[in-house]
Structure 1
Amino acid sequence: MQQNPWVALDATTDRRRLARALARARDAALGGGDAPGPQRVRDVIVESWARSGEAGVAPAGELAPRLLSTEAAGERWRSHPLAGGMPMLRALLADVHDDAKQVVLVCDADGTILWIDGEPAVLDEAQSINLAVGTGWAEGRAGTNAMGTALAVDHPVQVFSAEHYAQAVEEWTCSAAPVHDPETGEPVGVVDLSGELATAHPHSLALVSAAAQMLEAGLAHEAAQRNERLRERYGGAVGAGGGQAGALVAPSGRVLLSAEPVWGRLARLDLPEGGGEVTLPGGPARVERVDDGDAYLLWRTGVHATTTTTAPATARLSVRALGCDRAQLDLGGPVIELTPRRSEILLLLLLEPAGMSAERLAIELYGDFGKPVSVRAELSRLRRLLGDRLEANPYRLRGAASSDVETVERLMADGSLAEALERYTGPLLPASEVPAIVEVRERLDYELREAVLRSGDPSLLHAWLATPSGRDDIVATRALVELLDPADERRAGALSRLRRLSQPPGDRRRARRRA
């Protein structure tokens, strides 16, 4: 029966005898002679020796170099995709490294050890050959070894004794298997089981290979859940209708949803991390980064676009937000009523024509603990209505836009107080507690009231008192009573209002209940 070329020995091998033979073979090969035939040294090892020599690794030189401090390696490990699989890996390999005096370790895709576990005595022995957190075991740094070679050839491999390129490691045997990202297929790290020669066993490679497959299954499950959440959150933004994105794409480039046939047939797309204009199969597109980079929306642009946005960006966008908690959006068709939160976002963008980042919007809306992910979700839904009118990075409104707030302010500046009062239907989004909106609301009320009081015009005072903001304004009511002629029919109503407002608050409430 032919031996597995990735396994270093079988269960009946005399380990010491094989180790001595391999040492002679390595010395001969690295001394300039020809390595013995495949019956003595496996091809995978001979090829790795050649790569190690070309990289300038010295067989009798220093041990694997330290690349990261323990603290830095720990920080990298905490954010590594494989960190979440450690309970499973510990349970799977516990009996092996407890009984067989071995260590279990994980390297990142660069061959740097980020995590290692084993009995204290075995960990001390491992430390003596720099088998420790933060050290680099890529072939180009440490020569032939299971972790580095498994990454180099992208395959599980066992390395025994003097198959190691570095002489200082030849008293050890290691079995390692790469772990792949299920979305991209690229290695994210490698799992390794290492121990001294007495621990060598052919089954070690099968064990770490099974562990790697279980870790990959865990990553695939996490990716499936993450992608489903993205579909639920952003799926409504994708479609063939006007103002909808052409595709939803995961950070890996995997297309999760697509209304564009060409994009949907591609296994993966190569997208710029920060978003922007790109040329993809099927034509140009605009990439929008959403959910803190956990997803991307693709928008069709140019002559290849299969749909158009809700309305051309040159058409005027109009917003009514005075006297109501839900802003009304006019895009030249049926008026659309927005939710309170999207009303606030739209008003903030109108107030800041230069645009705002998701981070700043989150702070404006939710305070110091606001999360951009929440804002991006709302912006994505708002884009379904606005299409290309809503630009990203920073978020801003494209094309002509106006609001009833702007109209009232312009009329006041022009001295057209009567028309300004006619257009002023109440405070700006009265239920909103967003500081920037509260500031504009209070400023507009104050400036309009002061202008009316300064005018000394009874008709303007009467119109102000008819607004929600002026209804309980005792100063304006008293001014109106003083200005009106006793014969003016409006004076009786003004006097009645003044008497009501002059009552203590409790009496006023009782009077309302009787009414």
Structure 2
Amino acid sequence: MDVTQLAAGDTTRAARVLSEVRSARLSGRPAPVAPRRVIEQSWERMLRSGVDPDHDFRADLLSREEVQRRRERSALRHVLPVLREGLLGFADVAHHIMVVADEEGRVLWREGSAPVLRKADGLGFELGADWREDVVGTNGLGTPAVVRRPVQVFASEHFVRSQAVWTCAGAPLTDPRDGRLLGVVDVSGPLETMHPATLAWVDSVAKLAEARLRERHLESLEELRAVASPVLARLDGRALVVDRDGWTAAVSRMPYTRRVALPKSLAPGPRWVPALGLCSVEPLAGGWLLRAAADEPEPRGAAGIVLDLRQARSWTVAVSGGAGSWTRELSPRHAELLYLLAVHRAGRSASDLAGDVFGDPSRTVTVRAEMSRVRRYLGAFLEHRPYRFAEDTEVEVLLPDDPNDLLPHSTAPSVGRLRGCAPAL
């Protein structure tokens, strides 16, 4: 059913039809029309997780101090002007509000029409509120965070009955450097304010915000490069300069590496850095100077990798072995690829992975580009032709308690087939 077209012509009728669909689905009766697939999948997750469709559960609000602390820590603070300029002018006229939540679903900013803000208070749509999907049901903040794509939720497409008077359209905001989820921006209002173009509008502004984050990243690397140039000019040995997150600003007498996986608690002095070995670490304004120690064999030892896929929105790979231990957060695509390699220990060709992920074995260029990025931080533990984990690497995969919750964002055919019967690894 095309909700946007139906609602554009008759909002009241659309809301009534959706209410009938929701009631039928929850009671197990045949629905008059099928719900949209993204909504149906969300409802299935809610039924499995035990969210009560008839009772509005609200977690404790964050304190004002905690909201402010999260605001100051969030990269989204840098793109608020872009979001406000793109969304607030029209939102206020159209009786909408703009809401920005962090990666944990907590509402950090909320602006727009004053009467709508008061109505939002009655729904618990307040600063510091927890709007994760598995807490308050299908909604325009929590659902886009799970599926990692823009979603509009209209009237009774909300799983919890009390939210059926509302309509919202949300788009995920991701870190353009590595695909990590930063939060969600949402435009919401009473159901009669719904417009067919709202979702595309919100998605476009979200992409503008991500482009601004990319610009900020490049500008910061340029500034760090200017600081680093005279320092590197005085050095004889191999060295590179990275920002606080490990992104490379400049190199000297060594191959360029786009990003270095830094230990979580990096400090000045001799330190072992994955993929570089023993380095002398020195602080710079905005980053680190990493000077390679005298060439020596890399410490050997049995390597262990733990791929943690238990959470709905956050996946990590942890490495331990003779060279030390470190953990890295994974983008959705890298989580898919590493899981597939863990399942297929004998290895997968680029064509195999293209079929696994896209259902199209010809998309090898995209797969090779992604695997090249993966090998930048797992190069010592991955082999290629075919792509596989090294034989002496022990790989453990931590899966969700419910196999249906495995990588819920993923539309990869192979992940879909494994979901529900995911093997223990």
TM-score tier by shorter-chain length is 0.5 to 0.7
Q: Deviations along 1:360-407, whole A, 9 cap, x unmatched?
A: xxxxxxxxxxxxxxxxxxxxxxxxxxxxxxxxxxxxxxxxxxxxxxxx
2:12 is equivalent to residue 16 of structure 1: yes
Shifted more, 251-260 versus 164-173: the winner is 251-260
Which residue does 1:295 correspond to in 2? 287
Identity of aligned residues (%): 31
Select which of 244, 259, 265 maps to 1:268. Answer: 259
CA–CA separation in structure 1 for the residues paired with 2:205 and 2:180: 17
Highest relative contact order (Cα 8 Å, sep 6+), 1 or 2? Answer: 2
2:83 is equivalent to residue 89 of structure 1: yes
Give the secondary-structure state (helix, strand or coil) at the position aligned to 1:85. Answer: helix
Mapping for residues 406-445 of structure 1, pairs under 5 Å: none
CA–CA separation in structure 1 for the residues paired with 2:45 and 2:254: 44
Mapping for residues 322-341 of structure 1, pairs under 5 Å: none
Mapping for residues 214-229 of structure 1, pairs under 5 Å: 214-229=208-223
Would the alpha carbon gap of residues 238 and 291 (structure 1) be closer, same or farther in structure 2, given more than 3 Å must change? Answer: closer
1:11, distance to aligned residue in structure 2 (A): 6.1
Would the alpha carbon gap of residues 10 and 92 (structure 1) be closer, same or farther in structure 2, given more than 3 Å must change? Answer: farther
Partners of 2:116 and 2:190 within 8 A in 1: no
Which residue does 2:131 correspond to in 1? 137
Which residue does 2:181 correspond to in 1? 187
CA–CA separation in structure 1 for the residues paired with 2:105 and 2:4: 21
The TM-score, its normalising length taken from structure 1, stands at 0.52
Give the secondary-structure state (helix, strand or coil) at the position aligned to 1:137. Answer: coil
Q: Deviations along 1:224-279, whole A, 9 cap, x unmatched?
A: 1111111111234447953x4522222333222234655x24x4332113226335
Task: Mark the structure with the bigger radius of gyration.
Answer: 1
Select which of 139, 145, 154 maps to 2:148. Answer: 154
Give the secondary-structure state (helix, strand or coil) at the position aligned to 1:82. Answer: helix
Which residue does 1:26 correspond to in 2? 22
Partners of 1:108 and 1:190 within 8 A in 2: yes
Q: Letter of the 1:255 partner, please give it.
A: T
CA–CA separation in structure 1 for the residues paired with 2:38 and 2:234: 52
2:202 is equivalent to residue 211 of structure 1: no
Which residue does 2:271 correspond to in 1? 277
Select which of 225, 245, 251 maps to 1:252. Answer: 245
Indicate the RMSD between aligned Cα atoms, in angstroms. 2.8
Q: Letter of the 1:130 partner, please give it.
A: G
Q: What is the aligned residue count?
A: 295
Partners of 2:103 and 2:182 within 8 A in 1: yes
Whichever structure has more strand as a proportion of its residues is: 2
Give the secondary-structure state (helix, strand or coil) at the position aligned to 1:170. Answer: helix
Would the alpha carbon gap of residues 155 and 34 (structure 1) be closer, same or farther in structure 2, given more than 3 Å must change? Answer: farther
Would the alpha carbon gap of residues 141 and 232 (structure 1) be closer, same or farther in structure 2, given more than 3 Å must change? Answer: same
Shifted more, 53-62 versus 165-174: the winner is 53-62
Unaligned runs of 5+ in 2: 298-425
Partners of 1:249 and 1:297 within 8 A in 2: yes
CA–CA separation in structure 2 for the residues paired with 1:284 and 1:218: 34
2:51 is equivalent to residue 57 of structure 1: yes
1:129, distance to aligned residue in structure 2 (A): 0.3
1:179, distance to aligned residue in structure 2 (A): 1.4
CA–CA separation in structure 2 for the residues paired with 1:110 and 1:75: 14
CA–CA separation in structure 2 for the residues paired with 1:221 and 1:298: 25
CA–CA separation in structure 2 for the residues paired with 1:274 and 1:132: 35
1:209, distance to aligned residue in structure 2 (A): 1.1
Mapping for residues 115-514 of structure 1, pairs under 5 Å: 115-238=109-232, 242=236, 244-259=237-252, 261=254, 264-265=256-257, 267-275=258-266, 277-278=271-272, 280-281=274-275, 283-286=276-279, 288=281, 290-291=283-284, 294-301=286-293, 303-304=295-296
Give the secondary-structure state (helix, strand or coil) at the position aligned to 2:211. Answer: helix
CA–CA separation in structure 1 for the residues paired with 2:194 and 2:238: 56
Select which of 90, 100, 104 maps to 2:94. Answer: 100
CA–CA separation in structure 2 for the residues paired with 1:178 and 1:232: 33
Q: Letter of the 2:290 partner, please give it.
A: L
Partners of 2:96 and 2:116 within 8 A in 1: yes
The TM-score, its normalising length taken from structure 2, stands at 0.63
1:8, distance to aligned residue in structure 2 (A): 4.7
Q: Deviations along 1:424-476, whole A, 9 cap, x unmatched?
A: xxxxxxxxxxxxxxxxxxxxxxxxxxxxxxxxxxxxxxxxxxxxxxxxxxxxx
